[in-house]
């Protein structure tokens, strides 16, 4: 049961081999046993979970079960979930019980999925290491000294440690792909606008996108079928016909054109990571894929562009956390301004404050053109790079991060070093493209390394096809850490 | 020194949509505090704005009425500042690309028409209200108003007197009501005016330093505030002082303006395009459809009234002061075929009575049909003007038709020559002195005799006929 995939669990439930309550109990017990080491969860509510599981069993008994009814899952603590604490990893929302549910949560509930708990994350999704959580750092299940990646570190660690078959996550600059890579699990960030942002606490609105993390590409496809879909409550949600993301899984890869961007294999890429990617490419070639040399010349500019645009949007998205209506409010203050200042000084962590300051600065009078507008221009250049590249290839392959997971504390004192590690993921968000990470090997220290697959707009089914065919031929995704 | 006043106005027009600009929450006024505030207005984590398309339609209406350019791509921007009644910490407004740019609004100052240029009009959300009373030292927040759609209409600094500023505000007020995009209720804050006021030595090209008077919610306060502000600025300058750029508030009790914040305290609003909302795109067809659905505008209607009903330009301007008045007038003028008479009565007695009773034309006790009945009886000489006034009073206080009142009160004008001759003869017989004077060349004496006849007829004799017959008999 422990290593079962979403698909297998769904089949076992359908066959009556296991009940939802039994499954939930199994995972809750594992969480209870292993989470103290990993710190992957912010909230677990056994009573509530078991009640939901019992309801799922009842629905099944009444003949009302869908494909995923009764399967347990975990939500990143960024998705508002009615009746659950939705902290977003912040002291600011430590006391916030959401009165409503995000579109993603509604969709999961409607599909009959049972929530096991709420995954730890970098505060307000700002971070690449999960060291920025008010609830403490998440540990990498493969090596408790290593970071799990961020910001969806709790989601990735929970799936890797088999504390859940699947978890929701969000990706603003790599926050699904990078922790998936570091934890040896599969994660996909869809095209911007495919998954509704309604009820997803906003970090950088023009970049944020929800997606699943699971063991396999097939599970990701099944989850994306649940999570995706037009939502009129999000003006950036795309009104498109519903897709079945599993539809291309079994297509052979013969003739697939795979682009390898030169810039992703230049200086700074760890040799072990490079080797893992080369081997993965070789495997795909073996399956009939053709390799195309491509260039994404503005890749380096994605770091300054991202670290202007994302903080700019964040600085105003986080203005609502003012202590007036909900969330943390300072205990003692002498007037309104003092209340704001103390509340926000106490409620936000250092990285969040850093980004609010940077964002406020780049939007301020006299600097807007030099920073924000220029970053938007770079953003267009980056999108154009991809447009040109996709004239030559069907998918782009590369590393997710320059190295496997680094140690906890290794970069936390140097934000710029931390930001530079996002080099291969940021441009996908800036262009609004879909991207995923697939387990492809390990580095010399035994830490997982993921292969990044970047698709063209709405290319999710194709990317999942490539990942699935890769997983049929390899077993990296089946490896689990010893805990 | 002689000073010239320069005034520009920014008017916040609340649009009368059923729901808020970025959510499906009702906009109805007067509900219990915070009962009309959804998760969107409360700015819960994760909520997102969705544009109410009716707001765009109403903005386009105003733009077309003002002859403005409609920006077919316009963009919402965040205006960032902290205040407890602004739950998101930013107001969604428009900055670089507003929906409406340019245009002119004709205003009437005395009997002079002047054209005031518009800078722009943009869509934005209203804030909630901070209630500083009744909470013993604390502040209450009511978010019912938060998210109510506003059009902020900005004029060029084209006005040169408080009277012009008031005339502009009145003209815009009547236009937005004419177009049916705003209920115009100033007490409820549906139409709020900010006035930018400066003075400069007459003949100087550059503008003086302006101060902005915020949130004036009546035409009277607008006028008082501007007058006070002008005098304050002139006094300050003549005393050798300087006017510093500032935002001020008007206190209706003291009649004075006082500083709210100086230029140094001015916010850096850090405007940038709101990433939660896509640019608003307006198709040619949408503009053309709205144009085809537009009511006839005041200026066109005014010209038509002059042309079709022969009323004076001044009267036509008054008649087109509101759509309801114009429609009332047109109904009477059409049905009676008496445009000038209709104009005189609508702009005269009707306006005066409504004003006396504090009523709007829509609440006029005399329907257009009943006024038509009166005018017909004037036109066919059934009623003298004096009797008409009497019938009008009765119309105002009852539901009867003019004819029924004439019948009931026996107010028909007497035009029967025999009856008038009889009364004239009696008057001549009873007033030998006046007869003598008239015959001695004192024309006025005739009026005394005519007065006697009118009195004898209880006012019902046709005055023209009385005069004629008197002259005949005394010849």
Question: What is residue B113's predicted lDDT score, i.e. its pLDDT?
Answer: 85
Q: Per the domain annotation, does B398 fall within a domain?
A: yes
B343 and B391, same domain (yes or no): yes
B184 and B323, same domain (yes or no): no
**Does the pLDDT at position B321 exceed 90?**
no
Question: What is residue A283's predicted lDDT score, i.e. its pLDDT?
Answer: 98
Tokens of A159: 């799936």
Mean pLDDT computed over B284-303: 95
B216 and B304, same domain (yes or no): no
Q: Measure the CA–CA gap between B448 and B321, rounded to whole angstroms.
A: 43
Question: What is residue B417's predicted lDDT score, i.e. its pLDDT?
Answer: 81
Mean pLDDT computed over A289-310: 97
* Catalytic residue numbers of A, as ranges: 76, 151, 175
- β-pairing verdict for B280-281 and B73-74: antiparallel
| A202 to chain B: closest CA residue | B46
Tokens of A174: 């790599």
B225 and B367, same domain (yes or no): no
> Would you tell me the crossing angle of helices B284-293 and B53-65 to the nearest 10 degrees?
70
Q: Per the domain annotation, does B17 fall within a domain?
A: yes
Give chain A's length.
483
ipTM for the predicted complex: 0.96
**Does the pLDDT at position B49 exceed 90?**
yes
Q: What percent of chain A has pLDDT over 90?
A: 97
B163 and B93, same domain (yes or no): yes
Taking alpha carbons only, the member of B411, B344, B410 closest to residue B371 is: B344
- Domain ranges, residue B54: 3-286
In which element (H, E) is residue A155 found?
helix A153-160
Least confident window among A366-380, A450-464, B175-189, B433-447: B433-447
B35 and B180, same domain (yes or no): yes
Task: Residue B64: count other Cβ atoms within 10 Å of its Cβ.
Answer: 18
Mean pLDDT computed over B79-101: 97
**Does the pLDDT at position A1 exceed 80?**
no
Taking alpha carbons only, the member of A419, A400, A432 closest to residue A264 is: A400
* Chain A partners within 8 Å of B87 (Cβ): 320, 324-325
Last residue within a domain, chosen from B409, B430, B461:
B409
Q: Measure the CA–CA gap between B450 and B469, rounded to whole angstroms.
A: 10
Q: Per the domain annotation, does B291 fall within a domain?
A: no
Report the number of distinct structural domains present in chain B.
3
Contact, A173 vs A207, CB < 8 A? yes
Cβ-defined contact of B45 to A88 (cutoff 8 Å):
yes
Q: Per the domain annotation, does B173 fall within a domain?
A: yes
| Residue in A234, A320, A364 nearest the CB of B89 | A320
Question: What is residue B462's predicted lDDT score, i.e. its pLDDT?
Answer: 82
Q: Measure the CA–CA gap between B209 and B215, rounded to whole angstroms.
A: 20
Last residue within a domain, chosen from B409, B437, B459:
B409
B303 and B399, same domain (yes or no): yes
**Does the pLDDT at position B188 exceed 80?**
yes
Query: In this predicted model, what pLDDT tens digit does every residue of A135-161 receive, in sequence order?
Result: 999 999 999 999 999 999 999 999 999
**Does the pLDDT at position A184 exceed 90?**
yes
B109 and B61, same domain (yes or no): yes
B263 and B383, same domain (yes or no): no
Contact, B190 vs B14, CB < 8 A? yes
Any A CB within 8 A of B138 CB: no
B248 and B386, same domain (yes or no): no
In which element (H, E) is residue B8 found?
strand B3-14
* Chain B partners within 8 Å of A343 (Cβ): none
CATH tag, A6-255+393-478: 3.90.1300.10
**Does the pLDDT at position B412 exceed 80?**
no
B272 and B317, same domain (yes or no): no
Mean pLDDT computed over B388-402: 92
Q: Per the domain annotation, does B109 fall within a domain?
A: yes
Phi-psi region of B461 (alpha: psi -120 to 50; beta: other; left: phi over 0): beta
| Residue in A88, A236, A325 nearest the CB of B42 | A325
Cβ-defined contact of B272 to A202 (cutoff 8 Å):
no
Would you place residue A307 in the very low, low, confident or very high pLDDT band (cuts 50, 70, 90)?
very high
B216 and B331, same domain (yes or no): no
- The reply to whether omega before A151 is within 30° of 0 (cis) is yes
Cβ-defined contact of B278 to A324 (cutoff 8 Å):
no
- Domain with B433 in it: what CATH number? 1.10.10.410
Query: In this predicted model, what pLDDT tens digit does every residue of B164-173 receive, in sequence order?
Result: 999 999 999 9
Triad B294, B299, B301: Cα angle to 5°: 70
Half-sphere exposure of A458 (CA within 13 A, CB side): 8
Would you place residue B138 in the very low, low, confident or very high pLDDT band (cuts 50, 70, 90)?
confident
The DSSP output letter for B464 is: H
Least confident window among A205-209, A402-406, B385-389: B385-389
Question: What is residue A455's predicted lDDT score, i.e. its pLDDT?
Answer: 98
Contact, A359 vs A408, CB < 8 A? no
Last residue within a domain, chosen from B409, B428, B461:
B409
Q: What percent of chain B has pLDDT over 90?
A: 73
Query: In this predicted model, what pLDDT tens digit does every residue of A3-61 receive, in sequence order?
Result: 999 999 999 999 999 999 999 999 999 999 999 999 999 999 999 999 999 999 999 99
Query: In this predicted model, what pLDDT tens digit does every residue of A336-371 receive, in sequence order?
Result: 999 999 999 999 999 999 999 999 999 999 999 999
Any A CB within 8 A of B308 CB: no
In which element (H, E) is residue A118 found?
strand A114-119
Higher pLDDT, A265 or B424: A265
Q: Domain spans of chain A?
A: 6-255+393-478, 302-376
């Amino acid at each position: 049961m422990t290593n079962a995939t979403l698909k297998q669990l769904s089949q076992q439930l359908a066959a009556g081999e296991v009940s939802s309550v039994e499954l939930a109990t199994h995972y809750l017990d594992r969480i209870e046993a292993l989470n103290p080491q990993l710190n992957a969860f912010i909230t677990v509510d056994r009573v509530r979970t078991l009640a939901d599981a019992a309801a799922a069993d009842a629905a099944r008994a009444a003949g009302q079960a869908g494909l995923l009814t009764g399967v347990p899952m975990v939500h990143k603590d960024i998705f508002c979930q009615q009746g659950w604490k939705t902290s977003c990893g912040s002291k600011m929302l430590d006391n916030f019980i959401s009165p409503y549910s995000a579109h993603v949560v509604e969709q999961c509930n409607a599909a009959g999925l049972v929530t096991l708990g709420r995954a730890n994350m970098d505060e307000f999704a700002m971070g690449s290491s999960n060291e920025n959580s008010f609830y403490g750092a998440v540990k990498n299940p493969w090596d408790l000294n290593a970071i799990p990646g961020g910001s969806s570190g709790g989601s990735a660690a929970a799936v890797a440690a088999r504390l859940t078959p699947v978890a929701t996550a969000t990706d603003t600059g790599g926050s699904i792909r990078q922790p998936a890579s570091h934890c040896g699990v599969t994660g996909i960030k869809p095209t911007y606008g495919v998954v509704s942002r309604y009820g997803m606490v906003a970090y950088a609105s023009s970049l944020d996108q929800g997606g699943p993390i699971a063991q396999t590409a097939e599970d990701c496809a099944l989850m994306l079928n649940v999570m995706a879909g037009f939502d009129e409550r999000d003006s950036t949600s795309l009104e498109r016909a519903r897709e079945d993301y599993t539809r291309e899984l079994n297509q052979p890869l013969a003739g697939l054109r795979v682009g390898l961007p030169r810039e992703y294999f230049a200086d700074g890429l760890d040799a072990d990571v490079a080797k893992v990617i080369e081997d993965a490419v070789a495997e795909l070639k073996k399956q009939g894929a053709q390799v195309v040399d491509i260039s994404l010349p503005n890749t380096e500019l994605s770091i300054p562009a991202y670290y202007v645009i994302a903080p700019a949007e964040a600085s105003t998205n986080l203005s609502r956390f003012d202590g007036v209506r909900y969330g943390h409010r300072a205990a003692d203050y002498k007037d309104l301004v003092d209340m704001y200042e103390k509340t926000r000084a106490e409620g936000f962590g250092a990285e969040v404050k850093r980004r609010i300051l940077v964002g406020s600065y780049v939007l301020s009078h006299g600097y807007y053109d030099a920073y924000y507008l220029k970053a938007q221009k770079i953003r267009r250049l980056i999108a154009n790079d991809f447009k040109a590249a996709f004239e030559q290839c069907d998918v782009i392959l590369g590393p997710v991060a320059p190295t496997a997971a680094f140690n906890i504390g290794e970069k936390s004192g140097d934000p710029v070093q931390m930001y530079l590690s996002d080099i291969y993921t940021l441009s996908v968000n800036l262009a609004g493209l879909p991207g995923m990470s697939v387990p492809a090997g390990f580095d010399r220290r035994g830490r997982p390394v993921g292969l990044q697959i970047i698709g063209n707009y709405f290319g999710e089914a194709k990317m999942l096809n490539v990942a699935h065919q890769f997983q049929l031929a390899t077993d990296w995704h089946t490896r689990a850490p010893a805990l | 020194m002689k000073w010239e006043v320069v005034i520009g106005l920014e008017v916040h027009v609340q649009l009368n949509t059923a729901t808020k600009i970025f959510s499906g929450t009702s906009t109805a006024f007067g509900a219990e505090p915070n009962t009309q505030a959804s998760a969107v207005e409360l700015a819960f984590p994760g909520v997102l704005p969705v544009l109410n398309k009716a707001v765009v339609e109403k903005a386009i209406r105003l733009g077309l009425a003002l002859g403005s350019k409609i920006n077919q791509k316009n963009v919402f921007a965040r205006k960032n500042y902290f205040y407890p009644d602004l739950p998101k910490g930013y107001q969604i407004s428009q900055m670089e690309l507003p929906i409406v740019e340019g245009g002119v609004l004709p205003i009437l100052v005395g009997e002079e028409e002047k054209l005031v240029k518009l800078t722009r009009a943009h869509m934005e959300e209203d804030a909630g209200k901070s209630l500083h009373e009744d909470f013993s030292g604390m502040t209450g927040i009511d978010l019912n108003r938060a998210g109510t759609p506003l059009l902020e209409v900005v004029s060029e600094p084209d006005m040169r007197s408080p009277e012009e500023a008031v005339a502009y505000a009145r003209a815009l007020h009547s236009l937005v009501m004419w177009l049916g995009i705003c209920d115009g209720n100033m007490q409820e804050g549906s139409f709020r005016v900010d006035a930018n006021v400066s003075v400069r030595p007459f003949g100087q090209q550059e503008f003086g330093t302006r101060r902005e008077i915020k949130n004036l919610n009546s035409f009277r306060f607008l006028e008082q505030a501007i007058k006070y502000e002008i005098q304050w600025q002139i006094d300050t300058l003549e005393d050798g002082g300087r006017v510093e750029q500032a935002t001020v508030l008007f206190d209706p009790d003291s009649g004075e303006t006082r500083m709210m914040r100086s230029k140094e305290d001015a916010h850096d609003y850090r405007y940038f395009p709101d990433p939660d909302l896509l640019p608003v795109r307006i198709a040619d067809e949408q503009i053309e459809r709205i144009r085809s659905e537009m009511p006839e505008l005041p200026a066109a209607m005014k010209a038509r009234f002059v042309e079709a009903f022969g009323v004076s330009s001044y009267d036509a301007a008054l008649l087109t002061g509101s759509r309801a008045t114009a429609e009332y007038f047109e109904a009477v003028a059409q049905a009676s075929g008496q445009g000038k008479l209709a104009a005189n009565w609508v702009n005269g007695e009707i306006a005066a009575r409504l004003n006396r009773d504090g009523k709007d034309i829509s609440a006029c006790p005399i329907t257009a049909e009943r006024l038509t009945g009166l005018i017909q009886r004037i036109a066919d000489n059934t009623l003298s003007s004096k009797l008409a006034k009497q019938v009008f009073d009765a119309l105002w206080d009852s539901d009867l038709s003019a004819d029924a009142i004439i019948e009931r009160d026996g107010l028909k004008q007497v035009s029967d020559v025999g009856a008038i001759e009889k009364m004239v003869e009696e008057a001549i017989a009873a007033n030998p002195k006046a007869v003598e004077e008239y015959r001695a060349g004192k024309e006025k004496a005739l009026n005394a005799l005519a007065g006697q006849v009118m009195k004898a007829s209880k006012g019902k004799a046709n005055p023209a006929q009385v005069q004629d017959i008197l002259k005949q008999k005394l010849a």
